[in-house]
Amino acid sequence: MTRLSVNINKIALLRNARGGDLPNLLQAALDIEDFGADGITVHPRPDERHIRYSDCYQLRPLLRSEFNIEGYPDERWLGMVLDLKPEQATLVPDAPDTLTSDHGWDSYRHMDFLKEVIGRLKEKGIRVSLFVDPEPKCIEGAAEAGADRVELYTGPYAHGFAKHAGEAAAPYVQAAARARQLGLGINAGHDLNLRNLGYFHKQIPFLDEVSIGHALIADALYYGLENVVNMYKRQLQ
């Protein structure tokens, strides 16, 4: 079964808007686990506008499910991940001022850098996923660099889904097939929601994991957090 990892960045953003500890990020993460999520994802950014580095340190000993830390692997981020040893680290090619992730790695262009970073993470027993566009060459480069998985950037799929779902999904089906041939695990994330997730999963039923935050937290405003976690889980069955 494809695992659901819930990105809690938006909960942290809401907390930070007023200061203090409301909503309580740690309790929310534990509740999301209890509601059925298979993992918790965070993506700390240099300005700490939502998840803070200190949050990651507080979360690590409390979580019972898989912990996935995303981010650009500068020395600060890498030092924290090597220290905390999450189950998974997802490398994302974000510039420091990026609002949200909007493209994957050019894995051949950054091959030397990626090999070094991936090697350091895997020495600590951390599974490494590389955020990539659905392009076979990028996936082949991820395998050559030593990644364990790729995370397919699904923004273009989500944007094209309403117009023509089959055409929007086609590059991802091909990319996933190539990743599978190369022995890579396959994750997916970005702009997946209750309208487009089920179709995507039917096209690639061997997905290992999806990471969803913004849409899931937005849906929780209407349906409630516990209900929404289970609604997303049902899309993956």
Signed CA dihedral, 183, 38, 236, 89: sign only: negative
Helix/strand/coil for 212: strand
155 within 8 A of 131, measured Cβ to Cβ: no
Predicted local confidence at residue 94, as pLDDT: 78
CATH number of residue 100's parent domain: 3.20.20.70
Largest separation between any pair of C-alpha atoms in the chain = 48
Task: Tell me how far apart the alpha carbons of residues 216 and 201 are, in angstroms, rounded to a whole number.
Answer: 16
Q: Per mean pLDDT, which range of 70-74, 75-79, 103-107 is the poorest?
A: 103-107
Q: Which residues pair with 212 in a beta bridge?
A: 6
Which residues belong to the active site?
Answer: 43, 70, 190
Report the number of distinct structural domains present in the chain.
1
Tokens of 176: 């996933």
Mean pLDDT of 199-213: 98
More confident site: 98 or 156: 156
Q: Is the model's pLDDT at 96 over the cut of 80?
A: no
Mean residue pLDDT of the chain comes to: 96
Percent of the chain with pLDDT over 90: 94
Name the pLDDT band for 103 (thresholds 50, 70, 90). confident
Q: Which residues pair with 209 in a beta bridge?
A: 3, 187
Query: Which domain, by its residues, includes 31?
Result: 3-235
Alpha helices (runs of H) in 62-164, residue ranges in sequence order: 75-84, 111-123, 136-145, 155-161
Q: Is the model's pLDDT at 95 over the cut of 80?
A: no
Q: Which residues pair with 188 in a beta bridge?
A: 152, 210
Q: Is the model's pLDDT at 212 over the cut of 90?
A: yes
Mean pLDDT of 147-168: 97
Mean pLDDT of 197-217: 98
Residue 198 contacts by C-beta under 8 Å, 6 or more apart in sequence? 235
8 within 8 A of 43, measured Cβ to Cβ: no
Predicted local confidence at residue 104, as pLDDT: 85
Q: Is the model's pLDDT at 99 over the cut of 60?
A: no
